[in-house]
Structure 1
Amino acid sequence: MITCVVEYVIDPQKTDAFEKFATRWMELVDAHGGTHHGYFLPAEGASDKALALFSFPSLAAYEEYRKLFGHHPDFIAADKIRDESGCVLRYERSFMRPLLPSTTTTST
């Protein structure tokens, strides 16, 4: 599994537009082979930072998803929300390998 972490700098005056953008991307990731873990929006402290985390079974599966960018009408429409509102000032993507809690317990 590979997890994509997207760090956003957002316009704090356009949080509603960012939430609309984020909601659409959560649906698209889930519909195209990934698992979206959610967006994390400002609560306290810096009000212009947001995060998104989503996973795909493999880097190859993520690359298949990425091929839809700029071509699939739903992806174009989701990006249009961001582009027309100006809610995202910049973003950076990185990939991580998750270490998740074990579902089995051991006794000592």
Structure 2
Amino acid sequence: MITIHLKYEIDPDRIEDFEEYGRRWVALVNRFGGTHHGYFLPSEGDSDIAYALFSFPGFAAYERYRTESATDPECQAAFELARRTGCIRRYERRFLRPLDTETTEAPGPA
């Protein structure tokens, strides 16, 4: 499994537009076979930072999603919403893997 962590710098005056952008992507990622864990919007503290997390079974599935979303009309409409409104100033993407907690065997000596 691979989890994608997105950190967004958003325009706080365009939060409603960013919320709409997020709603669209939750549905789209799920439609493309991923699991969206949600968008996390500013509450206390920084007013211009938001996060999103979503997972795919593996990097190959994520790459299929990226390729297919590049030509999908609904995905392009979501990208256009962000471009048109300027709700996203910039973003950072990280790829994470979950810790396997099922392993019960103690590590041997190094």
The alpha-carbon deviation at position 100 of structure 1 amounts to 7.2
TM-score, structure 1 normalization: 0.90
Matched, 1:5 2:5: yes
Matched, 1:91 2:87: no
Cα RMSD for the two superposed structures: 1.3
Whichever of the two has the greater Rg, that structure is 2
Q: Percent identity?
A: 52
Deviations, residues 18-74 of structure 1 (Å, cap 9, x unaligned): 000000000000000100000000000000000000000000000000002331111
Distance 1:61 1:16, change over 3 A: same
Indicate the larger mover: 52-61 or 66-75: 66-75
* Alignment partners' CA distance in 2, 1:22 and 1:100: 29
Alignment of 1:51-90 (within 5 A): 51-90=51-90
User: Are the equivalent residues in 2 in contact too, given 1:69–1:75 (CA < 8 A)?
Assistant: yes
* Alignment partners' CA distance in 1, 2:46 and 2:87: 16
User: Are the equivalent residues in 2 in contact too, given 1:68–1:75 (CA < 8 A)?
Assistant: no
Distance 1:75 1:43, change over 3 A: same
* Alignment partners' CA distance in 1, 2:65 and 2:76: 13
Unaligned runs of 5+ in 1: 103-108
Unaligned runs of 5+ in 2: 103-110
* Alignment partners' CA distance in 1, 2:26 and 2:101: 23
Total equivalences in the alignment:
102
Q: Secondary structure of 1:76's partner?
A: helix
* Alignment partners' CA distance in 2, 1:100 and 1:83: 38
* Alignment partners' CA distance in 2, 1:52 and 1:35: 12
Distance 1:37 1:100, change over 3 A: farther
Matched, 1:49 2:49: yes
